[in-house]
């Protein structure tokens, strides 16, 4: 495969579609499968484990779990277990969750960069199989390590990717993580500033690494018979995101006035009917700037544009006709 590609699977897919996409990716030379966990729709760990058992080659990452709802020790042993199931293929993609959901479940975002630093520091100690003692503002551990009662404990090589968007989190990722797993709906032009922030963090590293990986989820929809239908599929997704995760707006060039109008129409939580009513507010040009939609050639060209802008491995998230989108892109990737 000339262009490294991954696949993003999440709550918009049925479990049957999830496993079909993962197995297709595994059989056709895709590099990775990333399991989403964001809205309170589906856990990410259970499908990741099933995918690990159904595949042989792809890496299995979380894209992303959050650092609020699972204790750091539990997160560490969860990924140690996933590595036991799929040796060398587990990747921990982790983010800071999002508002207003975090506050709605009693875990408001406070000092997200500082808490992420603490959380990852503890995870890395666990993965090195150390006895962990840590007294932070958001994370505390007191002489705890992986339990060795039933099997020998050894260090585990679990890469940690931070789901980062803002410059401070991107800089932290460059300083302490193995990679950045960037979110949907960021245009290729955003990569210029993002890479600058990552490089500022890399300059602070003390482990000798001079680079980290960069992946990005790209919402994709292919319809060769009706390209506008594919654009509309991505438009509905962008409208939902602007309504419920408005922090993305400032990074994809959307004015606050448009976000306010979308939120007024869509409400909370946004229903499919409400999203459809708000969609006319969103122009095609905006959709095509931050997603890959239209014909097969147009979508593959957009994925290539992300790659050339600095995304080593674009991660396909299928919208619209999901089967057509993935199978056409598999064919395009093979040349």
Question: Is 122 within 8 Å of 132 (Cβ atoms)?
Answer: yes
Domain presence at residue 285: no
Domain presence at residue 259: no
Exposed, middle or buried by CB within 10 Å (0-12, 13-18, 19+), for 124?
Answer: middle
Question: Is 75 within 8 Å of 123 (Cβ atoms)?
Answer: yes
The answer to whether the Cα torsion of 293, 295, 301, 303 is positive or negative is: positive
Domain presence at residue 241: no
pLDDT along the chain (335 residues), means of 10: 91 95 98 92 95 98 94 97 97 89 85 97 98 97 92 93 95 98 94 97 96 98 98 95 80 86 87 92 95 98 98 98 98 90
Structural domain boundaries, residue 207: 6-220+292-333
Domain presence at residue 225: no
Q: Residue 59 belongs to a domain with what CATH number?
A: 3.20.20.30
pLDDT at 266: 87
Domain presence at residue 156: yes
Domain presence at residue 228: no
Domain presence at residue 263: no
Domain presence at residue 247: no
Q: How many domains does the chain have?
A: 1
pLDDT at 1: 60
């Amino acid at each position: 495969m000339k262009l490294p590609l991954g696949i993003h699977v999440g709550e918009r897919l049925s479990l049957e579609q999830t496993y079909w996409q993962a197995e297709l990716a595994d059989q056709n030379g895709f590099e990775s499968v990333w399991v989403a966990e964001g809205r309170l729709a589906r856990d990410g760990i259970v499908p990741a484990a099933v995918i690990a058992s159904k595949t042989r080659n792809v890496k299995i990452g979380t894209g992303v779990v959050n650092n609020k709802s699972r204790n750091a020790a539990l997160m560490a042993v969860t990924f140690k277990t996933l590595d036991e199931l799929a040796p060398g293929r587990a990747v921990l993609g982790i983010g800071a969750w999002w508002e207003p959901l975090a506050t709605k479940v009693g875990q408001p975002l406070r000092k997200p960069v500082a808490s992420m630093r603490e959380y990852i520091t503890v995870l890395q100690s666990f993965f090195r199989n150390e006895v962990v003692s840590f007294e932070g503002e958001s994370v505390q551990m007191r002489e705890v390590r992986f339990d060795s009662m039933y099997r020998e404990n050894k260090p585990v090589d679990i890469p940690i990717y931070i789901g980062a968007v803002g410059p401070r989190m991107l800089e932290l990722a460059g300083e302490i993580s193995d990679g950045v797993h960037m979110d949907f709906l960021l245009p290729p032009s955003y990569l210029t500033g993002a890479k600058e922030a990552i490089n500022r963090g890399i300059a602070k590293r003390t482990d000798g690494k001079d680079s980290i990986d960069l992946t990005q989820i790209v919402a994709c929809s292919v319809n060769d018979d009706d390209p506008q239908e594919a654009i509309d599929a991505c438009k509905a997704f962008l409208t939902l995101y602007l309504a419920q995760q408005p922090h993305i707006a400032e990074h994809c060039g959307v004015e606050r006035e448009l976000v306010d109008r979308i939120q007024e129409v869509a409400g909370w939580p946004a229903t499919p009917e409400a999203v459809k009513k708000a969609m006319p507010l969103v122009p095609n040009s905006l959709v095509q700037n931050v997603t890959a939609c239209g014909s097969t050639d147009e979508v593959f060209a957009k994925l290539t544009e992300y790659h050339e802008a600095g995304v080593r491995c674009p991660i396909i998230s299928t919208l619209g006709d999901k089967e057509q989108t993935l199978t056409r892109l598999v064919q395009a990737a093979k040349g």
